[in-house]
Amino acid sequence: MPKNCKAVKRELDDDVRESVKDLLSNEDTCDDSFKKSSLIVGSGRGSDAENEAARPAWNSKLQYILAQVGFSVGLGNVWRFPYLCQKNGGGAYLVPYLILLIVIGIPLFFLELSVGQRIRRGSIGVWNYISPRLGGIGFASCVVCFFVALYYNVIIGWSLFYFSQSFQQPLPWHECPLVKNKTTMFVVPECEKSSATTYYWYREALNISDSISESGGLNWRMTICLLAAWSIVCLAMIKGIQSSGKVMYFSSLFPYVVLICFLVRALLLKGSVDGIRHMFTPKLEIMLEAKVWREAATQVFFALGLGFGGVIAFSSYNKRDNNCHFDAVLVSFINFFTSVLATLVVFAVLGFKANIMNAKCVIVALLGNEVSHDLIPHHINFSATVSAEDYQQMTEILRGVMEKDYPRLGLDSCSIEEELNKAVQGTGLAFIAFTEAMTHFPASPFWSVMFFLMLVNLGLGSMFGTIEGIITPLVDTFKVRKEFLTVGVCLLAFFIGLLFVQRSGNYWVAMFDDYSATLPLLIVVILENVAVAWVYGTDKFFEDLKDMLGFTPFRFYYYMWKYVTPLLLILLLGSSVIQLGMTPPSYSAWLEDMASEKSLKYPPWGLGVCISLVVMAIMPVPVVFFLRYFNIIDENAGVVSTISYKKGCIIKESVRPEEDDDASLIHAKSPGSEAPSPMPGNSIYRKQSGGVPDAAPNGRYGIGYLMADMPDMPESDL
């Protein structure tokens, strides 16, 4: 090259460098129109940069993990998992549960964490972003969350009532009440036919009616407890994760302290080993039954809170480079070990209770049949608890000596195994079986206070996630004040919740528990899986995860998301529908005259309510699909996509997937990190700051970037 050409090139390079220096030095002094200019993709409602920049975040990783653990670990871990373990083969039940946790639970949990963390929206915004026609998935999640919150907080209210009654010595459910007439005193017949704890639960606490058709009016004590429960939830959630995150330190950790204390105390009780031995004695033949696997899959599904939207809402406050795969595995196994810990506690206490009931049974049987004390081994003391070994030795002696008369004694009914096989779940376990066992504890009021305080905390942890699954999507979608929305939702839920604190309220709780969540949530999670794996694309989603996490997830997840998990979920949905069809809807009613439970069929209007709960929960999915399919609502409605620039740097970027098939969810980096250049569409059009952008030929708004005091530039230079 000639020397003069090199000199010209050097001069041009110097001019370019000087121009760049001038531009950079003048950047801070340019007008506000440059600093606040934004790129708007699509026909959204306007720039959302300020909302994204101001989006709250977790104070620490520990606070976030505790929130997810508090949401997933709930009352079901304490009173449903032990029941299923007892019912479905003891220790053998843990095998199908673990397998299904790995095949269904962790992949779906990881999927929800990933989409929430990247898109940084609640459930409505997330599924609108991935596929506007499937935007109804988010609304369905919100409806289910609302239904579940209605009755779940009633259970917290029940726990608050028992907590308030536990500061008494002896406990109020320790003995049956006496009624005095003109001449004598006698035990209340309803209590005498059942038990003190059963009577207290149904008559004193619930004052229950004989059927769901008999309203019986409000139970004023439970109404106050329900108001207190909603007040606690409202105050804890009113500032979003800034307030609820701090509460999580107590509500998530305290139950573990109580469970460990209960386990240590229960292991010191006589007969606790019988309960634990019963729990871990495997019945391997039961594992071959399809019903066991179906119930294990359902428990895995609900234990992790899949489909509620709470998992997505909590993860949306994370940094985009957070390792959500580690979070998914960690929280899933914490949930599993919590269930095992709670089961150990429950069976240790039930073993203690079974020994007490067995001793009473033996004493009544022996004394009632006037068995000679010479036939009873001398070391057996009926004033103390009769152990299983003593009982077995005694019955063998009596069977050998009184061969012909032994059946007449009726001692075979006094069996610890038979007592432990009496499967108890739900409210029956917490408010009847456990309370009865605690009456025999030394310092029983202390343990009662601790137990019901633990139930309150377990319930609140799950409630925070459930309410977050309602509040976050609505705030992100409709841009309302979180404080006003939280108060409004809690007030509305309280007034609707008065339905559950009538004398027939327990039957309504059972109805909502059976029909408002199971089928709708299964359908929601199936659609979530299909939306990511088949509509958005598993390959593309894997690229996004690699960009977000910094590594490629195991190929195991590819096959789970695309083939295995959807198939298993469809099978689970089909078996649930078949089960509902084979067993007509019914509920357990407490009959005062008989002092026992009886299964009753729902009246016709009750069946209508059951069907309406399922239909209302899932209705948003087809409604939104058809409205957008037939263009009654623009597919772009509610999808705000903005790239904002401040001082020449991208502070927010969202890319509409339908604008560019090759676009990935994970193109944007977290604020403050190095951001890629915006990906323009087919054409780029200038937008004056504060003005209306020019319309592109396809009818949509283009992308513009106005630099202060700069002349028009050709598209190629942009």
The confidence band for 79, taking pLDDT boundaries of 50, 70 and 90, is: confident
**Would you call 57 exposed, middle or buried from its count of C-beta atoms within 10 A (0-12, 13-18, 19+)?**
middle
pLDDT tens-digit map of 571-595: 999 988 888 888 888 899 999 888 8
Distance CA 226, CA 232 (A): 10
Q: Residues 337-379: pLDDT tens digits?
A: 999 999 999 888 888 888 777 777 766 665 555 556 666 666 6
Phi then psi for residue 30, to 5 deg, are -70, 165
- List pLDDT tens digits, range 112-138: 999 999 888 889 999 999 989 999 999
Confidence grade of residue 3 (pLDDT, cut at 50, 70, 90): very low
pLDDT of residue 424: 67
77 in a known ligand binding site: yes
How much is the pLDDT for 682? 37
As a whole number, mean pLDDT of residues 195-213 equals 92
**Is 227 annotated among the ligand-binding residues?**
no
Confirm if 313 and 116 have CB atoms less than 8 A apart: yes
pTM, entire model: 0.77
Closest CA to 129 of 635, 482, 555, 530: 635
> Over the stretch 659-676, which tens digit does the pLDDT of each residue have?
444 444 444 444 444 434
Burial class of 39 by CB neighbour count within 10 A (0 to 12, 13 to 18, 19+): buried
According to the model, what pLDDT value does residue 478 have? 85
Q: What is the mean pLDDT of the chain?
A: 78
- Does the annotation flag 335 for ligand binding? yes
Q: Which carries the bigger pLDDT value, residue 428 or residue 496?
A: 496
- At 471-493, the pLDDT tens digits run 989 988 888 888 999 999 999 99
CA–CA separation, 307 and 301 (whole Å)? 9
Output the DSSP codes for 41-87. ESS-SS--HHHHHT----S-HHHHHHHHHHHHS-HHHHHTHHHHHHH
Mean pLDDT calculated for residue range 517-530: 91
> Which residues make Cβ contacts (< 8 Å) with residue 163, sequence separation at least 6?
449, 452, 453, 456
CA distance 102 to 669: 30
pLDDT of residue 456: 94
Residue burial 606-644, b: 16+ Cβ < 10 Å; e: rest: beebbeebbebbbbbbeebbebbeeeebebbebbbbbbb
Q: What is the pLDDT of residue 482?
A: 87
**Would the annotation count 462 as a binding residue?**
yes
Q: In what order do the strands lie in the sheet with 649-652?
A: 38-41, 641-646, 649-652
Half-sphere exposure of 33 (CA within 13 A, CB side): 12
Reported as a pLDDT band with limits 50, 70 and 90, residue 181 is confident
Q: Is 640 left (phi over 0), alpha (psi -120 to 50) or beta?
A: beta
CATH topology of domain 61-349+426-637: Amino acid/polyamine transporter I (1.20.1740)
Percent helix, strand and coil across the chain, each to the nearest 5: 65, 5, 30
State residue 621's pLDDT score: 94
- Average pLDDT on 197-223 reads 92
Q: What is the DSSP letter of 401?
A: H
What percentage of the chain exceeds 70 in pLDDT? Answer: 73
List pLDDT tens digits, range 427-470.
788 888 888 888 888 889 999 999 999 999 999 989 998 999 99
Q: What is the pLDDT of residues 289-311, one digit of tens each?
A: 888 888 888 889 888 999 999 99
Residue 168 DSSP class: S
Question: Angle formed by the axes of helices 518-530 and 620-629, to 10°?
Answer: 40
Residue 504's beta-bridge partner residues?
none
> Where along the chain do its domains lie?
61-349+426-637, 359-421
pLDDT at 77 over 80: yes
Maximum pairwise Cα distance, the chain: 130
Q: Does 37 or 391 have the greater pLDDT score?
A: 391
Q: In the prediction, which pLDDT does 149 show?
A: 94
Is the pLDDT confidence value at 625 over 90? yes
Annotation-wise, does 70 bind a ligand?
A: yes
Instruction: Pick the more confident residue, 425 or 383.
Output: 425
